[in-house]
């Protein structure tokens, strides 16, 4: 905030919230809400998505650090690969780049890809879906 010449009180006044709200944000005691993201994006000239993505990244980092030992004990499913994937551990070819052959995800009423094609990183979907 010094780069912008803002104090906690100045930032609070500029975005129309209490000093306590700003102070809690700065001390990481409060998460950035969509409403706060809209206010900050207007003030700093960027998008609300920037602020929400920063909050999401922080939340994921915190969760991964907190669950590190537990997550290490989880063994990946070999069945998560498609049967026709040449990168699968069950494949005789044993090609190294298996990330391209994770299951293709089809959401209700819309297909990410045509059946039989490999999913690329950008085409994987998250949420309620069926795995082909």
* One domain for residues 63 and 84: no
* One domain for residues 10 and 65: yes
* One domain for residues 21 and 82: no
Total-model pTM: 0.56
| Cα dihedral 62, 66, 72, 75 sign | negative
* One domain for residues 61 and 119: no
Range of the domain at 17: 2-71
Q: What is the CATH number of the domain that holds 66?
A: 1.10.260.40
Q: Average pLDDT of the chain?
A: 75
Residue 130 β-bridge partners? 106
pLDDT in tens, 56-101: 999 999 999 999 999 888 888 765 555 566 655 555 555 555 555 5
Distance, in Å, from the CA atom of 76 to the CA atom of 131, rounded to the nearest integer, reads 16
Distance, in Å, from the CA atom of 95 to the CA atom of 122, rounded to the nearest integer, reads 21
Q: Is the distance from CB of 44 to CB of 36 less than 8 angstroms?
A: no
Q: Is the distance from CB of 86 to CB of 71 less than 8 angstroms?
A: no
């Amino acid at each position: 905030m010094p780069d912008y010449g803002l104090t906690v009180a100045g930032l609070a006044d500029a975005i129309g919230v209490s000093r306590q709200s700003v102070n809690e944000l700065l001390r990481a005691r409060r998460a950035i809400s969509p409403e706060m993201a809209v206010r900050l994006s207007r003030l700093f000239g960027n998008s609300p998505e920037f602020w929400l993505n920063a909050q999401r990244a922080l939340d994921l980092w915190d969760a991964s650090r907190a669950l590190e030992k537990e997550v290490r004990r989880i063994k990946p499913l070999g069945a998560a690969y498609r049967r026709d994937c040449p990168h699968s551990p069950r494949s005789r070819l044993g090609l190294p780049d298996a990330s391209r052959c994770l299951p293709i995800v089809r959401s209700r009423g819309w297909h990410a890809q045509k059946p039989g094609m490999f999913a690329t990183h950008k085409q994987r979907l998250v949420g309620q879906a069926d795995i082909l």
